[in-house]
Amino acid sequence: MLLIPCPFCAMDRPEAEFRHAGEAHLTRPPDPAAADDAAWADFLYHRANPRGVIAERWRHVHGCGRFINVLRDTVSDRILASYRPGEKRP
């Protein structure tokens, strides 16, 4: 079980308090009507799925209830950083 540092609660909390919410920093096509099928497929389905460092969202459902961003190494599962949504990826 991961120990996830919540930047809002400023505490390391167990993974069971969180819900995983997928890859971070995906942007919805800014002009939906103008986006073609390939752009929608990219936003909805295509994922980086890296073997290495991933930026991902978690929601602290059994804590502050807020979405956070986390950098994690997908090989060692070690968490490198966590930061608030809207902040730049460290």
Partner 1 sequence: MRFSLLSLLRESLRGHRGWPAQWRDASPKPAYDVVIVGAGGHGLATAYYLAAECGLRNIAVVEKGWLGGGNTARNTTVIRSNYLWEESEAIYEHSMKLWQDLSHALNYNVMYSPRGVMMLAHTVHDMQVIRRHVHANRLAGIDNELLSPREAQAFCPILNIGRDIRYPVLGAALQRRGGTARHDAVAWGYARAASALGVDIIQNCPVTGLRRQQDGAIAGVETARGFIAAPKIGVVAAGHSSVLMAMAGVRMPLESFPLQALVSEPVKSVMPCVVMSNTIHAYMSQSDKGELVIGAGTDAYPSYSQAGGLHIASDTLEAVCELFPTLRRLRMMRSWGGIVDVTPDRSPIIGRTPVPGLFVNCGWGTGGFKATPGSGHVFAHTIAKGEPHPIAAPFTLDRFRTGRLIDEAAAAAVAH
* Given 42, 61, 64, 67, the residue binding partner 1 (CB under 8 A): 42
- CA separation, residue 12 to residues 3, 29, 42, 51, 54 (Å): 6, 34, 33, 24, 19
* DSSP state letter for 52: S
5-13, 24-32, 34-42, 61-69 -> range binding partner 1 (CB under 8 A): 34-42
Q: Is residue 25 at the binding interface for partner 1, with CB under 8 A as the rule?
A: no
- How far is it, in rounded angstroms, from Cα 5 to Cα 19? 14
3, 47 in Cβ contact below 8 A?
Answer: no
Interface residues for partner 1 in 43-82 (CB under 8 A)? 44-51, 54, 56, 72, 74-77
47, 71 in Cβ contact below 8 A?
Answer: no
Name the residue nearer to partner 1 (CB basis): 11 or 16: 16
What is the binding site for partner 1 (CB under 8 A)?
1-2, 15-16, 19-20, 37-38, 40-42, 44-51, 54, 56, 72, 74-77
